[in-house]
């Protein structure tokens, strides 16, 4: 296990255990003493016994200090055990309070998860439409929307809300997400059962649905003082939500919501930063995340583990192309509009940024490349893009000309899909493979506005170099180092719930500021 995942108390316990084991080992190997007690043939058994005892002692005292507990599902989720061998060890230690909170959540999920007795009683409330006290289990049901990057970020936001409100998170998994992730929680699934009451309805619910919280507020059917509350509500928290939907982020609205057993949430944005602007959550969030730019880093690594099928694809590609490199550079390219961001502009931007920031060496265009050793690869560049042009340009450049530094650069691109297919399962599997491969990078270059890049940087625990968005003209500067590895919330509310007026929500607390890549978005930063 990585040393930086333990707390100081664990170091003390491990130290005490090592001392005890050492005393026993010395005693066993002192022939003059041991021979009077047992025969030599029994020593191996005794040593094995004490080794086993120490091994299980070590696991018992350390598990509660780990972000991820590896249990009986180890073989069904190989990535939980192996990801630390490929991804750089995190420099950011989760707080002991977060670890404790996750262990408590796992117990709650086990007790209230699908097909448990508590879940069955909660379903009865849902059917009756009335709230009673027969169960203390409450739920957030997440509904899929948009591309995989958006989904991962919105699931993380929904999970943090569940943690803060003592709810169980369930995922309405559509066919296009099947086989992507391992189950994150021990003993109980996070997948919404197929026989759920609104299963056929929730995938298609939209903002104009009568039972959304925003519409019920707008029609004055429900408000902060309403006593007779429904057993379920729909929350529409997607990029095109309106003023009444955004009132979800007002502190006074959390009181009635806390009494409703079932909240069915449709979202495609990383709304998590706005949770840090709700006063009643402030103290808890500060204890969970004293390091503000690590929220997605920790929760993302906790929640999202590639399935065995996906993990085998990841590791095969890594071992075939990236493993021998001394340095791995990931370049994630997302072009939203080819007309306003022409290929030549984007290519020039990539070359100027990577060479100016010394991520990639310049080439000597006056010289042809000399013969090279097949086994020598100083730098491996991983390109992820829907289009092949950037890869081909960069690959040809380094294959045809030597670098001025003498370094060898090999360029790879796992796929060239041409167009995004967010509702295609095989496309999502490939996207998940590439997000993980990017997260193994030593240096990372990402495209502005891209949730794909946000996921890779968060899982990798790196502040990327951001290629600022080209909009018919080249930006100045062309790129910049991210000041936080947190994702950006692209569509934050701009409403002061107390003053009941418009406000810049990036000015309310020091750790929530505007994003580097989207001037109206907000994200989490450390205050120093």
Task: Outline where DSSP puts E strands in 134-277.
Answer: 139-143, 168-172, 232-237, 262-267
476: phi then psi, degrees, rounded to nearest 5:
-135, 110
Q: In what order do the strands lie in the sheet with 232-237?
A: 168-172, 139-143, 262-267, 232-237
Segment holding 353, helix H or strand E: helix 343-356
Are β-strands 495-496 and 501-502 bridged in parallel, bridged antiparallel, or unpaired?
Answer: antiparallel
Contact of 185 with 73, CB cutoff 8 Å: no
**Binning pLDDT at 50, 70 and 90, where does residue 223 land?**
confident
Please tell me which of 221-235, 371-385, 407-421 the model is most confident about, judged by mean pLDDT: 407-421
Q: What is the C-alpha separation between 265 and 278, in angstroms, rounded?
A: 18
Q: What pLDDT does 258 receive?
A: 93
Q: Tell me the CB-side half-sphere exposure of residue 310, using CA atoms within 13 A.
A: 27
Query: What is the total residue count of the chain?
Result: 528
Domain-wise residue ranges, the chain: 96-290, 308-524
Task: Outline where DSSP puts E strands in 228-272.
Answer: 232-237, 262-267
pLDDT one-digit tens code per residue, 321-341: 999 999 999 999 999 998 899
Q: What is the C-alpha separation between 287 and 82, in angstroms, rounded?
A: 29
Peptide bond before 332: cis, by omega within 30 degrees of 0? no
Q: What is the C-alpha separation between 109 and 329, in angstroms, rounded?
A: 39
Contact of 287 with 82, CB cutoff 8 Å: no
Q: Is the pLDDT of residue 8 over 60?
A: no
Q: Is the pLDDT of residue 200 over 80?
A: yes
Structure tokens belonging to residue 358:
């010394």
Q: What pLDDT does 57 receive?
A: 44
pLDDT one-digit tens code per residue, 392-428: 999 999 999 999 999 999 999 999 887 788 789 999 9
Q: Is the pLDDT of residue 10 over 70?
A: no
Contact of 158 with 274, CB cutoff 8 Å: no
Q: What pLDDT does 4 receive?
A: 38
When pLDDT is averaged across residues 312-329 and rounded to a whole number, the result is 97
Contact of 408 with 439, CB cutoff 8 Å: no
Q: C-alpha 345: how far from its chain's center?
A: 31
Output the average pLDDT for the chain: 87
Structure tokens belonging to residue 67:
């972000």
Residue 220 to residues 130, 214, 215, 258, 499, Cα–Cα distance (Å): 19, 10, 8, 18, 20
Contact of 220 with 250, CB cutoff 8 Å: no
Classify 11 as helix, strand or coil: helix
Q: What is the C-alpha separation between 468 and 125, in angstroms, rounded?
A: 50
Q: pTM here?
A: 0.87
Q: What is the C-alpha separation between 216 and 264, in angstroms, rounded?
A: 14
Q: What is the C-alpha separation between 515 and 517, in angstroms, rounded?
A: 5
Structure tokens belonging to residue 247:
């009132």
Q: What is the C-alpha separation between 145 and 143, in angstroms, rounded?
A: 7
- Of 187, 7, 2, 189, the residue nearest 98 (C-alpha): 7
Segment holding 151, helix H or strand E: helix 148-165
Count of other CB atoms within 10 angstroms of residue 253: 19
Domain 308-524 is found in CATH 3.40.50.11350: yes
Q: What is the C-alpha separation between 160 and 61, in angstroms, rounded?
A: 26
Least reliable range by pLDDT among 24-33, 411-420, 443-452: 24-33
């Amino acid at each position: 296990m990585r040393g930086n995942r333990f707390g100081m108390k664990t170091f003390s316990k491990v130290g005490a255990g090592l001392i005890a084991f050492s005393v026993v080992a010395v005693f066993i190997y002192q022939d003059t003493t041991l021979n009077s007690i047992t025969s030599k043939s029994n020593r191996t058994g005794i040593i094995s016994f004490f080794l086993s005892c120490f091994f299980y002692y070590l696991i018992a005292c350390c598990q509660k200090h780990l972000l991820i507990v590896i249990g009986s599902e180890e073989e069904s989720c190989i990535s939980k055990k192996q990801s630390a061998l490929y991804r750089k060890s995190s420099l950011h230690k989760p707080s002991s309070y977060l670890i404790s909170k996750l262990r408590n959540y796992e117990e709650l999920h086990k007790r209230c998860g699908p097909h448990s007795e508590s879940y069955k009683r909660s379903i009865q409330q849902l059917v009756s439409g009335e709230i009673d006290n027969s169960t203390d289990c409450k739920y957030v049901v997440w509904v899929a929307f948009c591309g995989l990057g958006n989904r991962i970020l919105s699931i993380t936001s929904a999970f943090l809300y569940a943690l803060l409100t003592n709810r169980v998170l369930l995922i309405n998994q559509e066919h296009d997400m099947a086989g992507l992730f391992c189950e994150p929680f021990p003993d109980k699934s996070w997948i919404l059962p197929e026989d759920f009451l609104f299963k056929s309805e929730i995938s298609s619910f939209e903002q104009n649905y009568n039972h959304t919280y925003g519409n019920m507020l707008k029609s004055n059917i429900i408000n902060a003082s309403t006593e007779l509350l429904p057993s379920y509500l729909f929350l529409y928290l997607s990029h095109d939500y309106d003023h009444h939907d955004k009132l979800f982020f007002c502190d006074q609205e959390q009181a009635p919501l806390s009494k409703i057993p079932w909240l069915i949430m449709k979202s495609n944005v990383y709304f998590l930063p706005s949770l840090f602007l709700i006063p009643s959550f402030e103290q808890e969030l500060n204890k969970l995340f004293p390091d503000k730019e690590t929220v997605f880093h920790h929760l993302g690594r906790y929640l999202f583990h590639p399935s065995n099928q996906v993990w085998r694809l990841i590791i095969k590609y890594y071992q075939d192309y990236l493993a021998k490199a001394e340095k791995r550079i990931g370049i994630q390219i997302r072009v939203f509009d080819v007309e306003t961001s022409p290929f030549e502009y984007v290519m020039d931007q990539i070359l100027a940024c990577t060479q100016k920031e010394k991520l990639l060496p310049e080439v000597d265009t006056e010289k042809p490349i000399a013969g090279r050793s097949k086994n020598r690869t100083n730098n491996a560049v991983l390109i992820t893009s829907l289009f092949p042009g950037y890869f081909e340009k960069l690959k040809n450049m380094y294959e045809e000309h030597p670098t001025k530094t003498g370094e060898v650069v090999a360029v790879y691109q796992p796929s060239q899909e041409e167009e995004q297919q967010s509702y295609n399962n095989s496309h999502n599997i490939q996207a998940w493979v590439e997000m993980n491969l990017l997260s193994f990078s030593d240096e990372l270059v990402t495209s502005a506005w891209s949730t794909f890049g946000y996921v890779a940087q968060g899982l990798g625990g790196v502040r990327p170099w951001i290629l600022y968005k080209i909009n018919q003209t080249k930006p100045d500067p062309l790129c910049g180092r991210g000041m936080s590895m947190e994702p950006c919330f692209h569509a934050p509310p701009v409403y002061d719930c107390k003053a009941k007026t418009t406000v810049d929500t990036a000015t309310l607390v020091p750790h929530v500021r505007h994003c580097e890549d989207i001037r109206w978005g907000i994200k989490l930063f450390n205050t120093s």
